[in-house]
Amino acid sequence: MGGRILGVVLAVIAAFAVGGIALQRDEPINALWIVTAAVCIYLLGYRFYAAWIMAKVLSADPTRATPAERLNNGRDFVPTHRWVVFGHHFAAIAGPGPLVGPTLAAQFGYLPGTLWILVGSVLGGCVQDMVILFLSTRRNGRSLGQMARDELGPYGGFAALIGTLMIMIILIAVLGLVVVNAMKHSPWATSTIAMTIPIAVFIGFYLRRLRPGRVLEASILGVALLVMSVWLGGVIDHSPTLRAFFDHPGAPLALAVIAYGWFAAILPVWMLLAPRDYLSTFLKLGVVALLAIAIVIMHPTLKMPAITQFIDGTGPIFSGKLFPFVFITIACGAISGFHALVSSGTTPKLITNETDARLAGYGSMALESFVAIMAMIAATLLDPGVYFAINTGTGVVGAAAAEAVATISSWGFPVTVEQMQELAREMGESTLFARTGGAPSLAVGMASIFSSSFGSSLTSVWYHFAIMFEAVFILTTVDAGTRVGRFMVQDMLGQVWKPMANTSSYPATLIASTLIVAGWGYFLYIGVIDPNGGINILWPLFGIANQMLACIALSVATGIIVKKGKIRYALVTGAPLAWLAFVTTVAAFQKVFSSDPKLGFFAAANSLAEKLAAGTLPEAQAAVAPQLIFNQQLDGWLTVFFTLVLWFIIGDMLRVAYRRITGLPLPASSEAPYEPTRLNGITGETQHA
């Protein structure tokens, strides 16, 4: 009875807050409206909707042994404490999407992105993460492609394997690009992030060798070392001698990120990946909590309009109309296909009790969605002119500061050179113009919130702390994504030569890791050399590919639910699948066939080729133009390929559903046989009679 009353109270508060957000247009809105709506909606979803899905749709069984217990090999399959699993999963999925996507989508205003984050996460993203994690756990931690092949059939499964692998390459490349843009010429961020790696290795050995099972003890030690690394980063940044070792342009930082991804993929999961992700979770959660507290203290007013004139597709940060591109730009904060790869990659190999899929899957995604809400608030608290000055590339507004502010002011968002210079001085930077990628503008917003609440004299410290936070936030997704990609490569090559599928084989691991890193490393390099900062050329493809991957995951989940005879519950995953498939197909069509060079991939390639032939390009841009032309064409063909793969898999799922409904034979379920657990699901320790 008490739970029902709580649910009604939360529902009323949420409805009142959402109504206030959506209807209050004539005057600026207070950020507390958004925070209140978000908290109530997430609590409702986790407490009631997620619990209902676990009980009725998935039939979770706490007495069932998980693959982490049955297949324990000490490297990839390792029974892990539920809160460490939660920390790893949250850190692995919480990449650039919840930070960068809402920041970029703020060019449409605060309202469209906020509503999509709230609705999309609770009904789509959280459900996808939890369901895929549960289904993979029931199937020995199989990857998304493997589950598609086993449950839908060989043709749809093969398409899913190829499609998800290629999409994964694009996703990791964009993750790496955002990290590089955040660390570029920022010794504080670069040095601090570098220090988190040996700290993670130390904590891994501490938990594995020195003090096994002492999670709280290791957590306190690890957090203390992280705080110290932030302080040391500041010392290095203010030392003329030391800062030179960490002050680098994009290219060498890209190589460092590539090398890190390779090592993270081959080392045992307990040594680097799990402890680093777990420790970074403390930093992430701490910062998000501080942001929420600061917003409650400040109750600031948003400065960005609810809806801007750029909903017509003329946006300077990225092209495309409000529909469908707000749903493409904001991925991880609402629903993200990348999460399905983590949910069917590293996490199901660590979980000790399948009922914990609710905490690790639904709970982590709800928390990530809240991060996206914080990012939207931080971005829209900035003066709109400042926001556009930071996020718009020089190719749009011009390289000169005076030219940039004149262009931005002509849009109706006044800003001055002096204003930008003063802001850069406060943040401890030489300039903030054209710092594309979303991360720098988000850091400015976060620094403004923190300095107003906790100390205005420390603005530059808060800015560099925010930059470091963002890079750490994103880099954890690069390492987890690379490891998942390695599993996928091994699975695919294992179809040709069986020993390659052995995840315990170091030769196979080295080969697969090198291939996946080489794939995303190439696209990362493309983004680094792009004069517009890389986001314009890669983020639209990232968004489309990511949402198509979510469609593939939801297709697999819907097919399995139907095969189990629970057709009446198929809308749980089928409804978000139908919406995303429609949205992504429309977006893909526009990116391929639009004649507008700012929107269409092929149109942009043709326009650039014409300018190159006419000799009208600046010398620096002309030098990289052939590469950019090729990359735009490649993006276009990849979009066509991803769309065909998506609808082939949806068709295969519908075929399976039809055969189940009509009583025709189907592939046998790949669900592992029931074995009783000998582990305590909360602690992961072996039970004794």
* pLDDT for 533: 54
Query: If DSSP codes are grouped into helix, strand and coil, which group holds residue 302?
Result: coil
pTM (2 d.p.): 0.85
391 inside domain: yes
207 inside domain: no
* pLDDT for 464: 73
Q: Determine if the peptide bond prior to 324 is cis (ω within 30°).
A: yes
DSSP code per residue over 66-102: PHHHHT--SSSS----HHHHHHHHHHHH-SSHHHHHH
Are 434 and 441 contacting, i.e. CB atoms less than 8 angstroms apart? no
Structural tokens at position 594? 């639009």
Task: Count CA atoms closer than 13 A to 451's CA, side-chain side.
Answer: 21
- In this predicted structure, the answer to whether residue 661 has a pLDDT above a threshold of 80 is yes
Report the candidate in 424, 379, 385 with the shortest Cα–Cα distance to residue 408: 385
14 inside domain: yes
Digit-coded pLDDT (tens) for 260-276: 888 888 877 777 766 76
93 inside domain: yes
223 inside domain: no
Are 409 and 316 contacting, i.e. CB atoms less than 8 angstroms apart? no
Band of pLDDT at residue 395, cut at 50, 70 and 90: confident
237 inside domain: no
Can you tell me the mean pLDDT for 595-611? 91
- In this predicted structure, the answer to whether residue 540 has a pLDDT above a threshold of 50 is yes
Task: Count CA atoms closer than 13 A to 110's CA, side-chain side.
Answer: 31
Structural tokens at position 593? 């066939």
- In this predicted structure, the answer to whether residue 685 has a pLDDT above a threshold of 50 is no
- Dihedral angle sign, alpha carbons of residues 23, 24, 29, 32: negative
- Contacts for 493 with CB less than 8 Å, ≥ 6 apart: 500, 501, 508, 511, 512
309 inside domain: yes
Band of pLDDT at residue 195, cut at 50, 70 and 90: confident
Q: How far apart (Å, rounded) are the C-alpha atoms in residues 399 and 670?
A: 57
Query: If DSSP codes are grouped into helix, strand and coil, which group holds residue 672?
Result: coil
Query: CATH number for the domain including 100?
Result: 1.20.1730
* pLDDT for 643: 94
Angle between helix 31-44 and 2-23 (nearest 10): 140
Q: How far apart (Å, rounded) are the C-alpha atoms in residues 229 and 471?
A: 14
What ranges in 244-392 are assigned the alpha helix state H?
A: 250-266, 273-298, 322-329, 337-343, 357, 364-380, 384-391
Query: If DSSP codes are grouped into helix, strand and coil, which group holds residue 279?
Result: helix
Torsion-angle region of 398 (φ positive above 0: left; ψ -120 to 50: alpha; else: beta): left
* pLDDT for 267: 79
- Domain containing residue 493: 2-185+248-662
* pLDDT for 650: 95
Torsion-angle region of 637 (φ positive above 0: left; ψ -120 to 50: alpha; else: beta): alpha
Residue at token pair 């030391």: 242
Q: How far apart (Å, rounded) are the C-alpha atoms in residues 482 and 506?
A: 16
- In this predicted structure, the answer to whether residue 70 has a pLDDT above a threshold of 70 is yes
- In this predicted structure, the answer to whether residue 595 has a pLDDT above a threshold of 70 is yes
Structural tokens at position 441? 């503008």
Q: In this prediction, what percent of the chain has a pLDDT beyond 70? A: 92
b/e per residue 661-674 (b: at least 16 CB within 10 A) = eeeeebbeebebee
Cβ-count burial of 386 within 10 angstroms (0-12 exposed, 13-18 middle, 19+ buried)? buried
* pLDDT for 26: 64
Q: In this prediction, what percent of the chain has a pLDDT beyond 90? A: 37
Lowest mean pLDDT among 324-333, 571-580, 676-685: 676-685
Can you tell me the mean pLDDT for 353-377? 93
* pLDDT for 688: 37
Query: If DSSP codes are grouped into helix, strand and coil, which group holds residue 314?
Result: coil
Q: How many domains, the chain?
A: 1
Can you tell me the mean pLDDT for 453-465? 75
Report the candidate in 193, 198, 172, 195 with the shortest Cα–Cα distance to residue 183: 193
* pLDDT for 531: 60
- In this predicted structure, the answer to whether residue 546 has a pLDDT above a threshold of 90 is no
Higher pLDDT among residues 445 and 5, named by residue: 445
670 inside domain: no
* pLDDT for 172: 84
Query: If DSSP codes are grouped into helix, strand and coil, which group holds residue 476?
Result: helix
Are 265 and 517 contacting, i.e. CB atoms less than 8 angstroms apart? yes
Higher pLDDT among residues 5 and 596, named by residue: 596
Band of pLDDT at residue 673, cut at 50, 70 and 90: very high
b/e per residue 589-612 (b: at least 16 CB within 10 A) = ebbbebeebbbbbbbbbbbbbeeb
Q: What angle is formed at CA 552 by the lines to CA 549 and CA 554, rounded to 5 degrees?
A: 110
Residues belonging to the chain: 689
Q: What angle is formed at CA 481 by the lines to CA 550 and CA 196, rounded to 5 degrees?
A: 135
Residue at token pair 């109706």: 412
Torsion-angle region of 323 (φ positive above 0: left; ψ -120 to 50: alpha; else: beta): beta
**Residue 537 one-letter amino acid:** I
Are 562 and 556 contacting, i.e. CB atoms less than 8 angstroms apart? no
Residue at token pair 């600026």: 28
- Contacts for 294 with CB less than 8 Å, ≥ 6 apart: 449, 450, 452, 453, 454
Digit-coded pLDDT (tens) for 114-135: 999 999 999 999 999 999 999 9
- In this predicted structure, the answer to whether residue 640 has a pLDDT above a threshold of 80 is yes
**Residue 15 one-letter amino acid:** A
CB atoms under 10 Å from CB of 355, counted, come to 18
Lowest mean pLDDT among 99-103, 473-477, 575-579, 660-664: 473-477
Per-range mean pLDDT, top range of 215-229, 231-245, 477-491: 231-245
| N-term to C-term CA, the chain | 37
Can you tell me the mean pLDDT for 546-567? 93
Can you tell me the mean pLDDT for 527-537? 65
Report the candidate in 638, 480, 631 with the shortest Cα–Cα distance to residue 546: 638
DSSP assigned state of 457: G
* pLDDT for 1: 61
Query: Which residues, in sequence order, are bridge partners of residue 301?
Result: 30
**Residue 682 one-letter amino acid:** I
